[in-house]
Structure 1
Amino acid sequence: MATDQKFVDYIVEQIENAGEIKAKKMFGEYGIFSDSKIFGLICNNKLFLKPTKAGREFIGDVVEDPPYPGAKPSFLIEDKIEDSGWLSELVRVSVEELPMPKVKKKKSGF
């Protein structure tokens, strides 16, 4: 089952207070970014966040599941998805711990 655009829009709206949030279609599903850092995926109408120590402490009782077959387990966020304040804070503490994306080198055109 593919993710509905309405679900993606809802998630982005729920965490709009956690930075500049963008969802980008990737491999048939969606990557979700805050201030250019990818911090999670939306797959099959479910929200998955990259595991971080701060995120684990914030959530407490973490549920982990791979977002797609063969992927590493991520934090599956379901129970508090309607709580915009809680979800925004989780994204903020998680993104703080994630490294900045690597700058891609331009390929020479030989």
Structure 2
Amino acid sequence: MASTGQYLEFVLDLLGELNDVAHRKMMGGYVLYYRGKVIGGIYRDRFLLKVTPAAERLLPEAPRAIPYEGAKEMLLVEAEDRDTLHDVVDAMWVELPAPKKRKKK
């Protein structure tokens, strides 16, 4: 089942006060970026974040979920508190690797 645009808008609204949040439609879901780094995505209308030490610390009760077969576990975001989510994403950004440079063909 694909993710809906309506759920994407809901998640983008939760993250709305963060500058430079972007998304890309991919395989029926959406990959979410913050300041150029992948932070998570929306898969089957579930908001999932990458597992980082900061995300685990700030969302200690978040269950784990697999976005699609063969993928790594991610944290299922059930919180709707904007301030908490902003803190999590900001803290995660520091821990995530820089995007890989693409080679020119």
Partners of 2:94 and 2:10 in 1: CA distance: 23
Matched, 1:16 2:16: yes
Over 6 Å off, 4+ runs: none
Equivalent residues of 1:16, 1:88 under 8 A apart: no
Partners of 1:11 and 1:62 in 2: CA distance: 16
Partners of 2:97 and 2:19 in 1: CA distance: 15
Partners of 2:37 and 2:77 in 1: CA distance: 19
Counterpart residue identity of residue 41, structure 1? G
Sequence identity of aligned pairs in percent? 30
- Displacement of 1:18: 2.9
Give the structure 2 partner of residue 75 of structure 1: 75
TM-score between the two structures when normalised by the length of structure 2: 0.92
- Displacement of 1:54: 1.0
Partners of 1:14 and 1:87 in 2: CA distance: 8
Give the structure 2 partner of residue 58 of structure 1: 58
Bigger radius of gyration = 1
- Displacement of 1:17: 2.4
Give the structure 2 partner of residue 105 of structure 1: 103
- Displacement of 1:16: 2.1
Partners of 1:7 and 1:28 in 2: CA distance: 13
